[in-house]
Structure 1
Amino acid sequence: MPLHDHFRPPDNRLPWEPLHSGWLSELAGRINERLPEGYVALDRVRIGGGLEIDLGVEELLSGPGAGSEVPAGGVATATTRATYAPPAASGSAEYTFPDLLELRVTSATGDGRVVGAVELVSPGNKDRGTKREAFVGKCLDYLAGGAAVVIVDVVTDRRANLHNDIAERVGAPSELMLSAESFLYAAAYRPVRRGKRTQIDIWVSPLAVGTPLPTMPLRLVGNVFIPVELEWAYVEACRRRRFVA
């Protein structure tokens, strides 16, 4: 199913709010089917200080190292080898991370380290001023704590580009920035330490109403990635809400 404009008639018969919650639920279920032992994906995770992740992947257990590259700020651990090979990154940004911000949530089984976050951009996130800056700052906090991030923006009634804001903040090269006309997009960010260098690998894909959604890579740890299947979860969310194109 191609992407629809859920902010304008006639496709706003499935408004953004129920689509947002349903899309997150479907993504969490799909990701959990693909996660190795020791990890769990939970939608609407709150971190200690009140910071909310739309969808967080939490590491419950530790295991042997997985790969020579390690996440910035952490040690590479995984309980299984990768079953998904991501495409080559669109590019990388050299970035000096601030002092480590450890991202943790508490569950009934103990502390779990958040290793990945998926954020569906909301209309409020694209407001000018403090809300927009708060979203960018939240994503940078995830990266500083060693967590990979995927953001998805299908908000058609506001034209701010949060990916460009993030890319500018981390000093990404100009070829990783989207044009002013590209205000719908999906982007993935992977913090990594290569030798003495700290970098952020970036994947970016412009989106458009009427076209299918991409699959984006979410790094768990080291070189272990899982696919974030945006199209599959979007179709399921629409189908379960009786939205038929």
Structure 2
Amino acid sequence: MALQDHFHPPLSTHRHWQAFHNAWATYIASDLNHRLPENYFAEPNVQFGIEIDVATFEESLPENVSSLQKNSLKWKPPAPTQSFPFQPVSEAVEISIFNNEEGPLLAGAIELVSPANKDRPASRKAFVSKCEAYLQQSLGLIIIDVVTVRQANLHNELLENIVASDVQHINTHLYTTAYQVVKHHKEPRLDIWQQSLEVGQPLPTMPLWLRGPICLPIDLGATYELTCQEQRIKVANGLRQK
């Protein structure tokens, strides 16, 4: 099934892109769990619109709380030594792959880019920093960007952040990339597989390298088609909704 534009009419007026990304991440994780080795498992992690302190409430203390607990709960810290602007990753749509032999330990990740990830410079920097942290741990990584309402290219920004020279940019804002940290002649190297994406064209199969020698084919087209079917999305006579 060809890639569709989930961020512009007519599809955006009939379906929420957040719901589609959520479902796509779930089906990718489900597909992985059918094919991963015994000691591995995949989990989707979807977070939209994270705000600091949104889950903090002030309530009266229950009567059975001890005096020590009351004193601890009423303790107020001193003023911070420093305070400066910081932008955490405010949205995340990802699939994490774990090895539970000694853990669970993170072995790889698949990141689905959201519009907020490509919005402000601070948001892009936060996303790039997270991906760089994965690579610094020698984790396999795939980035999937089908966001048509922002022009930034996070793959290019990631490469500029970690590679001093000879950076080969992708000249498009829709793409998918896979990364593996590997030794070539005893020297660590970052191997990259990159594919441009285009609305109306099929999605490719990408390699997911887990920590160690394990590599799995991630058929983006098959999971995308399954998600469209389950979300009742189809293309017929220019219409993208059922």
Please, what TM-score do these two structures have when normalized by structure 1? Answer: 0.73
**Partner of residue 233 from structure 1, selected from 223, 228, 231:** 223
In the TM superposition, residue 175 of structure 1 has moved relative to its aligned partner by 6.2
Cα distance change, pair 200–53 in 1 and its aligned pair in 2 (3 A): farther
State how far apart, in whole Å, the 1-side matches of 2:34 and 2:201 are.
26
Listed one character per residue, the Cα deviations across residues 3-59 of structure 1 (whole Å, up to 9, x for unaligned) are 00011111212221011000001000111111111000111189xxx9867110001
Q: Identify, as 1 or 2, the structure richer in strand.
A: 1
How many residues get paired?
Answer: 192
Cα distance change, pair 58–173 in 1 and its aligned pair in 2 (3 A): same
Q: Quote the sequence identity (%).
A: 40
1:197 equivalent in alignment to 2:187: yes
- Which amino acid in structure 1 is aligned with residue 169 of structure 2? M
**Partner of residue 170 from structure 2, selected from 174, 178, 183:** 178
Cα distance change, pair 126–34 in 1 and its aligned pair in 2 (3 A): same
SS in 2 for 1:40: strand
Tell me the residue number matched to 1:3. 3
Tell me the residue number matched to 1:93. none
User: Which consecutive unaligned segments of at least 5 residues does structure 2 have?
Assistant: 48-87, 236-242
The 8 Å contact of residues 142 and 148 in structure 1, kept in 2 or not, is answered as: yes
**Equivalence map 1:2-151=2 (5 Å):** 2-12=2-12, 13-44=14-45, 54-61=94-101, 111-151=103-143
Listed one character per residue, the Cα deviations across residues 81-140 of structure 1 (whole Å, up to 9, x for unaligned) are xxxxxxxxxxxxxxxxxxxxxxxxxxxxx7211110000000000012211000000000
The 8 Å contact of residues 182 and 191 in structure 2, kept in 1 or not, is answered as: yes
The 8 Å contact of residues 43 and 56 in structure 1, kept in 2 or not, is answered as: yes
| Structure with greater contact order relative to length (CA < 8 Å, sep ≥ 6) | 1
State how far apart, in whole Å, the 2-side matches of 1:130 and 1:3 are.
29
Tell me the residue number matched to 1:209. 199
Cα distance change, pair 41–152 in 1 and its aligned pair in 2 (3 A): same
Q: CA RMSD in A?
A: 2.1
User: Which consecutive unaligned segments of at least 5 residues does structure 1 have?
Assistant: 62-109
Tell me the residue number matched to 2:213. 223
State how far apart, in whole Å, the 2-side matches of 1:58 and 1:23 are.
19
Cα distance change, pair 215–173 in 1 and its aligned pair in 2 (3 A): farther
Please, what TM-score do these two structures have when normalized by structure 2? Answer: 0.74
- Which amino acid in structure 1 is aligned with residue 97 of structure 2? V
Cα distance change, pair 135–222 in 1 and its aligned pair in 2 (3 A): same
Higher gyration radius (CA): 2
Cα distance change, pair 172–210 in 1 and its aligned pair in 2 (3 A): farther
SS in 1 for 2:159: helix
State how far apart, in whole Å, the 2-side matches of 1:9 and 1:112 are.
42
